[in-house]
Structure 1
Amino acid sequence: MDRETFYIGAATAGHQVEGNNTNSDIWAMEQMKYGGYPEKSLDAADHYNRYKEDITLLKSAGLNAYRFSFEWARIEPKEGEFDEKEMQHYLDMVHFCKENDIEPIITLHHFASPKWLIEKGGWESEYVIEAFKRYTKYIAQNLSGEGIKYICTLNEANMGNLISIYIRQAKEQYEKQEGEKATLQIGLNLEEMKKEEEAKEKENIEVFGTPFPAVFVSPRSPKGNKIIMETHKAAVEILHEMLPDTKVGLTLSLRDVQAIPGGEEKAALDWHDEFEEFLPAIIDDDFVGVQNYTRAVFGENGELPPEDGAELTQMGYEFYPEGLPNVIRRVHASFKGEILVTENGIATDDDTRRVEFIRRAFDGVKACLEDGIPVKAYMYWSLLDNFEWQSGYTMRFGLIGFDRKTQERTVKESLAFLGNVNRIETNTL
């Protein structure tokens, strides 16, 4: 495999790095008392205005691809009304990548949605299928002739499903502890949630017109999962028709699901909920984006915490870069299209551990390639330290840091390391 067919780069999401995504649902929730966001994104990393600086740093390090998202809430701020200036902004980003020999890998939706969409039922309403089709057609019209190789329709289409699982597990944990305070790794606290439920529903009505706004990362019902899959399939059809030379897929958040004796059944159920439930909707796609950060080990009583003494990241995940090749192999057993690693990374202030994480993860990718698995890209998450949703700015995933007051960039050694991987390893793949 030559260098031109394998991409090593980094990824971002618009809302997390651009700032001031004021027409989005997440921006609205950031302003709410009970929106679940203890910190506001504000200017974020100001990537909206500084993308040339950031992409230049990426190129200077030796990387050859950049995955970023178009923000639906910017492009269609009001239902059916498209903002040509905002569309041109993202086209300018595409052009700047191309001018610098950086392959743009585009994501159409990365968690943030237009606020008006949520007011119309959001991701639990079949209305979203037609709305996303309209948005996708507009994007495809504007990308005609741009030579885009890869488009991801939806980022982590399984996230709502995973959150439903986490909430169920939290409730089970709470019941087992017979009323003691119970929390999960993602920070859910059932006791506090119950106290705030009534006030939260009232505020949701004031902001979204409904007590239960179905944002993309809300707990998802079986109906919602079907809507997600139909939305994706409709977008794939449009993109294949309008951009026949572009490969289309979606991305999934996938842990390396393992079992100890007695945990096989629970592990199998978890893998079904994370991956297999979505397989029928993606089986004929050109590629699937794999996003892995850690592993999950199951015993007979459910998911086990990391072992005592295990190294943990800022997110509370077990440091386990070997999870990536394990997931790639498991996905490939069922999905025969191309595989792109669209996210893989670590939140830490110790950049030497980031370097080690990348080293071991990419060694696993190389082993997969040597075995003939069609992996086409490795995108580290994230190019920049960013607004990590409900964790705010406390989680530092970036290859590049920044000062929130001055926006001055600090290039970390891990960026150079990843660029060196690109210069050396892709010539031998």
Structure 2
Amino acid sequence: MTAADRRFPSDFLWGVASAGHQNEGNNSNSDTWFAELVTPTVFSEPSGQACNGYELWREDVALAAGLGLTAYRFSVEWARVEPSEGAWSQEALDHYGAIVRECRARGMAPVVTFQHFTAPHWFAMRSGWLDPEAPALFARFCDKVMEAFGDRIAVAVTMNEPNLARLLSWLELPEFVRGLERATLEAATAATGVAAYRLGNVMVPEEMDAIADGMEAGHVAARAAIKARRADLPVGLSLAVIDDVVVGDDASVRDRKRAEVYERWLELARDDDFIGVQNYERVPYDGNGAVPPAEGVPVNQMGSAIEPLSLGGAVRYAHEATGVPVLVTEHGMSTADDTERAAFIEPSLDGLLDVMEAGVPVLGYLHWTLMDNFEWVFGYGHQLGLHEVDRETFVRTPKPSAGVYAAFVKAQVTGA
């Protein structure tokens, strides 16, 4: 029996996830915008107008609602809300508050991410999360957002994938990419004349632990600020979680990866209301390291074998390590072939329901992403959207996968 023949809980959240910098465009007061434009830069191209989402946000909320979804995840851009230190933009706060109201009006729970990688340019000039005052500055921003419209949001995600840099250190990226990351930070530091210009998603290895310390303290401070405004609001963070599995009897490499990449964050999440899991792939490990896909096995744009059951595996691991409910804050596939994405959705949800029926509490599933967008260092070269976007006109066009996901959700929500 597949997930299509079974039922998820009636209060299960069905949604899509998006992010400000990747969709909005012209996020010119942010650290990432600045880093995209220095020379050299690790970013393959500038974000520019992205999907023009800051202007077309009503259309995007309508697209999500048109799929029959019950939740919509988006991020509030700190760089827009606090474009210079201590100066707040009422226009930006009103803008994001309007998105929350529109979600509610269309029957979707607003899932709000307070930081999706990007931060203000001025914050990066203060060395970002290496600054001892960073946690308090982030908490101040979270408090301002909560004051403006926190009474109407449904779920709060403090920060997105604070473990990503450490996770990427386990991938077989070309050495020139590591060099470009360092060169990007050096160029941004030189261009601004500060001691150290630092981003939250471009790091050098020797600073990863210290930056993680700052982020961990930032999450704790943000959670306290959010709860001070609304004690009942579910608060958590999201983690990038690969389904790391063992081939053979030697689990030493897999376990070392888990200790380096996930452990501190999963321990931190034990005090949260949920853990956000963001899963895209499964990677097998033997005693020597990662085992590459066999020749001829279909792979995604990251080079990993396409494995729908990775979602259930990642969710089970996160819950076992934290003891708190899971919210799938992202899941999808990087591929230019939408037939692969369309075929991937139902078996992934089937595997998710398997682990739920085995006792893992899961609050909802948010597909990444509503539309093809700016995928950070990869620019516009990777496609993960349920809709494609014309790079000139910004017209959004649904892909077959959008229909597959909508039909699945409709069957779950209405039984039809």
Q: TM-score range by the shorter chain?
A: over 0.9
In the TM superposition, what are the counterparts of 1:11-410 in structure 2 within 5 Å?
A: 11-146=17-152, 148-166=153-171, 184=172, 187-190=173-176, 203-210=187-194, 212-217=196-201, 218-219=203-204, 220-261=207-248, 263-410=250-397
* Shift of residue 415, structure 1, vs aligned partner: 1.2
Structure 1's unaligned 5+ residue stretches are 167-183
Query: In the alignment, residue 98 of structure 1 is paired with which amino acid?
Result: R
- Asked if 1 retains the 8 angstrom alpha-carbon contact of 2:35 and 2:184, the reply is no
- Asked if 2 retains the 8 angstrom alpha-carbon contact of 1:313 and 1:319, the reply is yes
After superposition, the Cα gap between the structure-2 partners of 1:49 and 1:4, relative to the gap in structure 1 and judged at 3 Å, is: farther
Q: What's the CA shift string for 1:224-277, capped at 9, x where partnerless?
A: 222211110111111112112210000000001112235411100111222222
Query: In the alignment, residue 384 of structure 1 is paired with which amino acid?
Result: M
Structure 2's unaligned 5+ residue stretches are 1-6
Secondary structure of the residue that 2:363 maps to in structure 1?
A: strand
Equivalence for 2:408: 421
Q: What's the CA shift string for 1:171-202, capped at 9, x where partnerless?
A: xxxxxxxxxxxxx3xx4424x765x7996565
In structure 1, C-alpha distance between the alignment counterparts of 2:315 and 2:187, rounded to whole Å: 42
After superposition, the Cα gap between the structure-2 partners of 1:345 and 1:229, relative to the gap in structure 1 and judged at 3 Å, is: same
Q: What's the CA shift string for 1:31-53, capped at 9, x where partnerless?
A: 11212112111111111111111
Secondary structure of the residue that 1:104 maps to in structure 2?
A: strand
Q: Does 1:5 align with 2:11?
A: yes
4+ residue stretches of structure 1 with deviation over 4 A? 1-4, 196-202
- Asked if 2 retains the 8 angstrom alpha-carbon contact of 1:401 and 1:409, the reply is yes
- Asked if 2 retains the 8 angstrom alpha-carbon contact of 1:28 and 1:207, the reply is no
In structure 2, C-alpha distance between the alignment counterparts of 1:208 and 1:267, rounded to whole Å: 40
In structure 2, C-alpha distance between the alignment counterparts of 1:16 and 1:201, rounded to whole Å: 20
In structure 1, C-alpha distance between the alignment counterparts of 2:291 and 2:194, rounded to whole Å: 37
Residue-pair matches, total: 406
- Asked if 2 retains the 8 angstrom alpha-carbon contact of 1:341 and 1:377, the reply is yes
In structure 2, C-alpha distance between the alignment counterparts of 1:330 and 1:231, rounded to whole Å: 24
Q: What's the CA shift string for 1:116-148, capped at 9, x where partnerless?
A: 1111111222221111011011011112432x2
- Asked if 2 retains the 8 angstrom alpha-carbon contact of 1:253 and 1:274, the reply is no
State the TM-score, normalizing by the size of structure 2: 0.92
Secondary structure of the residue that 1:42 maps to in structure 2?
A: coil
Q: What's the CA shift string for 1:351-409, capped at 9, x where partnerless?
A: 22111111111111111222232101111111010001111111110001111111111
Query: In the alignment, residue 62 of structure 1 is paired with which amino acid?
Result: G
State the TM-score, normalizing by the size of structure 1: 0.90
- Asked if 2 retains the 8 angstrom alpha-carbon contact of 1:10 and 1:381, the reply is yes
In structure 2, C-alpha distance between the alignment counterparts of 1:89 and 1:197, rounded to whole Å: 33
After superposition, the Cα gap between the structure-2 partners of 1:87 and 1:420, relative to the gap in structure 1 and judged at 3 Å, is: same
- Asked if 2 retains the 8 angstrom alpha-carbon contact of 1:257 and 1:267, the reply is yes
Equivalence for 1:181: none
- Asked if 2 retains the 8 angstrom alpha-carbon contact of 1:63 and 1:418, the reply is no
- Asked if 1 retains the 8 angstrom alpha-carbon contact of 2:185 and 2:198, the reply is no
In structure 1, C-alpha distance between the alignment counterparts of 2:184 and 2:214, rounded to whole Å: 26
Query: In the alignment, residue 162 of structure 1 is paired with which amino acid?
Result: L
Q: Which moved more, 1:210-219 or 1:329-338?
A: 210-219
Secondary structure of the residue that 1:320 maps to in structure 2?
A: coil
